[in-house]
């Protein structure tokens, strides 16, 4: 017991309370006889209790608990075991299952049994009999991290990892092992010898494609255990072959890459199958085909390049943009006030996804076309404005002031040479993604030409690069970006950029700076600005058949503020036309989610609708696919090297199945596999307890009742 004040003062105060109680009841009128003693005791008890609480007593209790050392047993439950192991029905081999079941009660402490693949599941010691190796991904690093986190309070002292080592999802598990807090003991499952097998090892293609544009598909295949094999690699959709190639593999050439292609005819999520010939005697046919999903959009981005006059910069811009197959570029250059190289109608300007003003408007610009450009920008069409010597800066200031990130306030006719250096803001801007923003490199590039006019930036614009003259910052913007709700624009206030594509050999490593910056700028300017009130998307465009189907949603009001408390319904339409409704749960701040059971293979579409108080808030649509994954079957032999490295880097050992019985003795003799004792100290502030207040009131009530009965009240 401790007190907030000196307890000797408490003793003195209690003695005074005792004397006061005796003095108060030494005589009473009328005389109540011996009842005075009871009244004095009640008064003393109340005063003593109040004084006791005023000194803030605290009761400290100490207890000790002992947590036994825990061994976490991680057992691989991925589909690769059906090939790499010899267990019944593709599960654990009987020898491994029996060894683990003997190990669990023999551990000198506690044990926890987990199965893992793409997820980690805590199980019981008897459930290994029904272990189904059916998870279509193996994430060893996530399994180790999950066990570490789950056992943070349970004195985890060692991990036994039972796996074939074929990880195919998540980060490299060796990085986890390097910093793992306890030793990992590994048991290698499966056969490490080469088996007869033909497999697709990888498929690479674009995530997004466009209607009527060819989509390349790169397929890597491998054939092991066959002296000579002639294989056919095909790409199909709905049973219809889109493309196929023949390839000859041999012992000297066991693997090869095959280039396939197809041209989508309609928009939407398309599910394709890549297949390779099946040969006799293969260890498995699960890796002879693979499903891929590609999102096909209606068309490519349409870009209008308006040039004020023929100029090397205009040619260089068009040349760079046309290297991007996702851009449909139209070049229109002013020839005279009414004539153009190329053609464009002022009425069609707003049909483009991006307008590049390469020096435009010039001194002979068509007023109607300039007005159409300004109107399109006001309606949300992004602009990329580039100043050339032929630019009419007065016209720019008059017509495009509200849509450009920078405008000339004081127009001067002369030009001078400048160098360009990125601002600190450039390092974190997507326009400079993959571009070296170090000033030293940019200063080695050819100087550009800049107008001597004075430029004023819009209040919400961001300066990304500035000009230097002989290495001195003249505080003049060179590249300025503007981003507003539903609108973006970019201004490049110097010309001569074509020279950066034709630099000398000593700056060859920087010659791609302008090309990459320009393509990044176009991508940033044309990126879709998502202002939908309801936004729902699946966690993945392509799920495995064993994956749970997860949706994430967001709901916003007219002011783009998140809306909570809405009813968000997602109706999934299956390949057979069946409809499956899911109600998303409100997780706060306008966010919603659902975790649904797996679905059969096929292509699915969905429609999401949000309502609140019976009123519609908006809707969204989308699609996804479900199909078999071949990740687990791309390599049909175990990886003993990884399993040994996991053990060595964490301070553990690699064990054979036959030596698992020795693990309890190894753990018992280990200096680290020890129980953990913990002392728990709890302080109880008695002066805060309501029970003492109630007791004081009861004592006062009792005193009043006795006084009432004795006629003292």
Paired strand residues for 223: 198
The model's pTM is: 0.54
- Residue 656: phi and psi, rounded to 5, are -85, 160
By three-state DSSP, how is residue 658 classified? helix
Nearest-CA neighbor of 292 among 415, 384, 200, 372? Answer: 200
Are 284 and 197 a contacting pair, CB within 8 Å?
Answer: yes
Please answer whether residues 447 and 494 qualify as being in contact, where contact means their C-beta atoms are separated by less than 8 angstroms: no
Q: Spell out the residues 6+ positions from residue 232 whose beta carbon is closer than 8 angstroms to its own.
A: 244, 245, 246, 247, 276, 277
| 3-class DSSP state of 204 | strand
Q: Establish whether the linkage from the previous residue to 110 is cis, with ω within 30° of 0.
A: no
The pLDDT of residue 88:
46
Residue 294 phi, psi (nearest 5): -125, 130
**How do residues 13-32 score in pLDDT, each as one tens digit?**
999 999 999 998 888 888 88
Q: Tokens 């709905």 appear where? A: 238
The owner of tokens 């060595």 is: 648
Q: What is the dihedral of CA 62, 63, 66, 72, to 10 degrees?
A: -90
CATH topology of domain 197-297: Immunoglobulin-like (2.60.40)
Q: Which of 619, 605, 597 is nearest to 536 (CA)?
A: 619
Among 467, 490, 469, residue whose Cα is nearest residue 480: 490
* 645 vs 138: CA distance, rounded Å: 17
| Model pLDDT, residue 130 | 61
8 A C-beta contact, residue 116 and residue 141: no
pLDDT in tens, 37-70: 899 999 999 999 999 999 999 999 988 888 899 9
Fold designation for 301-526? Rossmann fold (3.40.50)
**Span 609-625, pLDDT tens digits:** 999 988 899 999 888 88
Which of these, 630, 581, 621, lies nearest to 601 by C-alpha position? 630
Q: How far apart are the first and last CA of the chain?
A: 39
Q: How many CB atoms lie within 10 A of CB 369?
A: 19
Specify whether the CB–CB gap between 489 and 405 falls below 8 A: yes
Domain spanning 534-627: CATH superfamily: Macroglobulin (MG2) domain (2.60.40.1930)
Low-confidence ranges of the chain (pLDDT < 50): 86, 88
Residue 271, SS3? Answer: strand
Are the C-beta atoms of residues 138 and 83 closer than 8 Å to each other?
Answer: no
Residue range 69-190+637-668, CATH number: 3.40.50.410
CB 480 within 8 A of CB 489: no
Q: What is the pLDDT of residue 152?
A: 83
Structure tokens, 494: 């110097």
What is the rounded distance in angstroms from the CA atom of residue 157 to the CA atom of residue 668?
A: 11
User: 3-state SS of 121-173?
Assistant: EEECHHHHHHCCCCECCCCHHHHHHHHHHHCCCCCEEEEEEEECCCCCCCCCH
Q: How many whole angstroms separate alpha carbon 579 and alpha carbon 51? A: 73
Size of the chain in residues = 713
How many Cα atoms within 13 Å fall on the side-chain side of residue 142? 16
517 contact partners, CB below 8 Å, separation of at least 6: 431, 432, 435
Q: In sequence order, what are the residues at sequence separation of 6 or more whose Cβ sits closer than 8 angstroms to the Cβ of residue 220?
A: 200, 201, 202, 203, 255, 256, 257, 258
Element containing residue 100 per DSSP (H, E): helix 94-106
From residue 165, give the alpha-carbon distance in Å to each of 138, 240, 462, 482, 484: 9, 37, 50, 50, 50
CA atoms within 13 A on the CB side of 152: 4
User: Mean pLDDT, the chain, as a whole number?
Assistant: 87
Provide the 8-state DSSP code for 362: B
CA-only gyration radius of the chain, Å: 39
Please report where in the chains the tokens 């809405």 appear, as a residue. 566
């Amino acid at each position: 017991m401790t007190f907030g004040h000196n307890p000797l003062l408490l003793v003195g105060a209690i003695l005074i309370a005792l004397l006061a109680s005796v003095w108060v009841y030494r005589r009473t009128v009328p005389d109540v006889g011996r009842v005075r003693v009871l009244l004095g005791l009640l008064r003393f008890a109340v005063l003593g209790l109040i004084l006791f609480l005023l000194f803030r007593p605290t009761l400290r209790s100490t207890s000790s608990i002992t947590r036994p050392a825990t061994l976490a047993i991680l057992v691989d439950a991925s589909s690769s075991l059906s090939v790499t192991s010899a267990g019944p029905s593709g599960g654990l081999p009987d020898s491994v299952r029996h060894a683990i079941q003997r190990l669990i009660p023999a551990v000198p402490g506690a044990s926890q049994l987990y199965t893992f693949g793409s997820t980690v599941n805590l199980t019981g010691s008897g459930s290994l009999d029904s272990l189904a190796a059916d998870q279509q991904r193996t994430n060893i690093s996530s399994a180790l991290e999950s066990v570490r986190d789950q056992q943070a309070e349970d004195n985890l002292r060692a991990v036994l990892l039972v796996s074939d080592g074929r990880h195919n999802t998540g980060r490299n598990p060796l990085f986890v092992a390097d910093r793992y807090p306890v030793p990992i003991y590994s048991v290698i499952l499966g056969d490490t010898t080469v088996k007869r097998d033909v497999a697709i090892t990888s498929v690479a293609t674009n995530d997004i494609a466009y209607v009527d544009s060819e989509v390349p598909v790169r397929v890597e295949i491998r054939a092991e255990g066959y002296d000579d094999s002639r294989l056919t690699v095909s790409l199909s959709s709905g049973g219809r072959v889109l493309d196929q190639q023949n390839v000859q593999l041999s012992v000297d050439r066991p693997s090869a890459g095959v280039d396939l292609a197809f041209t989508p005819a309609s928009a939407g999520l398309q599910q394709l199958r890549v297949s390779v010939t099946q040969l006799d005697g293969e260890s498995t046919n699960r890796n002879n085909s693979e499903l891929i999903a590609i999102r096909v959009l209606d068309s490519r981005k349409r870009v209008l390049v308006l040039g004020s006059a023929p100029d090397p910069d205009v040619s260089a811009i068009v040349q760079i943009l046309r290297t991007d197959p996702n851009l449909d570029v139209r070049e229109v250059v002013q020839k005279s006030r009414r004539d153009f190289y190329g053609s464009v109608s002022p009425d069609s300007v707003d049909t483009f996804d991006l307008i590049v003003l390469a020096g435009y408007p010039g001194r002979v610009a068509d007023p109607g076309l300039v007005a159409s450009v300004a109107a399109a920008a006001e309606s949300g069409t992004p602009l990329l404005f580039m100043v050339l010597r032929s630019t009419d800066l007065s016209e720019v200031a008059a017509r495009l002031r509200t849509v450009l990130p920078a405008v000339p306030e004081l127009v001067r006719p002369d030009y001078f040479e400048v160098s360009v250096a990125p601002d600190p803001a450039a390092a974190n801007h997507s326009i400079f993604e993959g571009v070296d923003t170090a000033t030293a490199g940019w200063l080695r590039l050819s100087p550009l030409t800049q107008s001597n006019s004075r430029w004023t930036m819009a209040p919400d614009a961001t300066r990304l690069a500035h000009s230097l003259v002989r290495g001195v910052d003249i505080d003049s913007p060179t590249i300025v970006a503007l981003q507003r709700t539903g609108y973006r624009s970019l201004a490049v206030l110097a010309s001569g950029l074509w020279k950066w594509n034709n630099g000398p050999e000593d700056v060859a490593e920087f010659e791609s700076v302008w090309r990459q910056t320009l393509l990044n700028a176009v991508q940033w300017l044309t990126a879709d600005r998502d202002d939908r009130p309801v936004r729902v998307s699946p966690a993945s465009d392509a799920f495995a058949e064993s994956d749970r189907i997860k949706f994430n949603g967001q709901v916003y009001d007219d002011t783009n503020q998140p809306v909570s408390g809405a009813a968000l319904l997602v109706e999934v339409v299956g390949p057979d036309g069946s409809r499956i409704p899911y109600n998303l749960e409100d997780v706060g701040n306008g966010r919603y989610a659902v975790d649904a059971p797996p679905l059969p293979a096929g292509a699915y579409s969905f429609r999401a609708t949000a309502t609140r108080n019976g009123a519609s808030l908006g809707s969204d649509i989308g699609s996804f696919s479900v199909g078999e994954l071949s990740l687990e079957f791309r390599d049909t032999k175990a990886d003993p090297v990884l399993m040994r490295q996991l053990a060595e880097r964490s301070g553990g050992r690699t064990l054979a199945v036959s030596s698992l019985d020795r693990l309890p003795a190894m753990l018992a003799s280990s200096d680290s596999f020890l129980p953990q004792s913990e002392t728990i100290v709890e302080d109880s502030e008695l002066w805060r307890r309501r029970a003492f207040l109630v007791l004081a009131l009861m004592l006062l009530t009792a005193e009043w009742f006795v006084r009432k009965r004795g006629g003292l009240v």
